[in-house]
């Protein structure tokens, strides 16, 4: 799996869930607004707490009604006054004001973290892509040797942890050795020990670099290995 693909999938997934929740929240909000417009607002009395709902008593157009409302809050008590929205077409159809917009509120609260997480992943992908593009265009290319890798336990997808491929480049002119580490990858880097991977290094700041593991994983180097053991 190519670098950043997982981040892109997670970004799309989290944002998709957030968009779905927002759509459902908007539908609920439209239903609640429609209920407000087609109902009469009045004050009723809670006569009984029953299961996950309440029995209410109210007067509409001079006539007393009693109805069961499948809405409940822990703050409700028998004998308490409650604001109701009574349908003008069917006075026995009633909803409480307190819970009229509750589904919209809950869905919005639940959807917010998905938007935030999705946005963070999109930002990460965007920053990595921009840095990669700049290094590909202006960076100095060196050929490093794969030395192994480290598992990144801070991240997990479907119970799997990604790897960070490690490699080194030895400058024959200065005698200096440079060690590099890649972004998250999903293949075992130890399978590629000894192979050559390209590293794009910033000409002004050698601490900025990009290990091009995608070119290593495309199999082009496999035919350069001759094992006569």
Query: Which region, left, alpha or beta, applies to residue 224 given φ > 0 means left and ψ of -120 to 50 means alpha?
Result: alpha
Other CB atoms within 10 A of residue 47 CB: 14
- pLDDT value at position 1? 46
**Greatest distance between any 2 Cα atoms in the chain:** 100
Alpha helix locations (H) across the chain? 5-37, 102-138, 213-217
55 CB burial (10 A radius; 0-12, 13-18, 19+): middle
Please tell me the distance from the alpha carbon of residue 212 to that of residue 221, in angstroms, as a whole number: 13
**Residue-level pLDDT at 183:** 87
The pLDDT of residue 222 is: 47
Dihedral sign for Cα 185, 191, 194, 197, please: negative
Residue 224 is predicted with a pLDDT of: 52
- pTM for the whole thing? 0.58
Burial of residue 49, with CB atoms counted within 10 A of its CB: 0-12 exposed, 13-18 middle, 19 or more buried: middle
Per-residue pLDDT of the chain (229 residues; tens, 9 = 90+): 455 667 778 788 888 999 999 899 999 889 888 888 889 999 999 999 988 889 999 999 999 999 998 887 788 889 999 999 998 988 988 888 877 888 888 888 988 999 898 888 888 888 888 888 999 999 999 999 999 999 988 888 788 888 999 999 999 888 899 999 998 888 889 989 999 999 999 999 989 999 998 878 765 444 455 555 5
Task: Quote the pLDDT of residue 219.
Answer: 54
CATH superfamily of 6-104: Nucleic acid-binding proteins (2.40.50.140)
Domain boundaries, the chain: 6-104, 139-224
> What residues contact residue 199 under an 8 Å CB cut-off, 6+ apart?
141, 142, 143, 144, 167, 169, 180, 209, 210, 211, 212
Tell me, what's the pLDDT at 228? 54
């Amino acid at each position: 799996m190519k670098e950043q693909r997982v981040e892109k999938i997670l970004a799309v997934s989290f944002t998709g869930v957030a968009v779905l929740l927002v759509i459902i929240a908007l539908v609920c909000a439209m239903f609640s607004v429609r209920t407000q417009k087609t109902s009469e607002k009045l004050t009723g009395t809670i006569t009984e707490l029953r299961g996950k709902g309440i029995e209410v008593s109210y007067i509409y157009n001079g006539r007393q009604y009693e109805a069961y409302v499948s809405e409940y809050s822990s703050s409700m008590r028998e004998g308490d006054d409650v604001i109701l929205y009574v349908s003008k077409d069917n006075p026995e159809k009633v909803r409480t004001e307190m819970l009229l917009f509750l589904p919209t509120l809950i869905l919005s609260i639940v959807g917010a973290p998905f938007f935030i997480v999705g946005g963070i992943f999109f930002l990460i992908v965007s920053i990595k892509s921009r840095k990669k593009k700049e290094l590909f265009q202006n960076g100095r290319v060196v050929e490093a040797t794969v030395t192994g890798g480290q598992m990144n336990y801070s991240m997990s997808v479907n119970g799997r942890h990604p790897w960070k491929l490690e490699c080194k480049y030895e400058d024959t002119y200065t005698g200096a050795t440079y060690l590099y580490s890649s972004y998250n990858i999903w293949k075992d880097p130890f399978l590629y020990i000894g192979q050559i991977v390209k590293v794009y290094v910033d000409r002004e700041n050698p601490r900025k670099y990009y290990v091009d593991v995608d070119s290593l994983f495309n199999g082009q180097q496999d035919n350069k290995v001759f094992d006569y053991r």
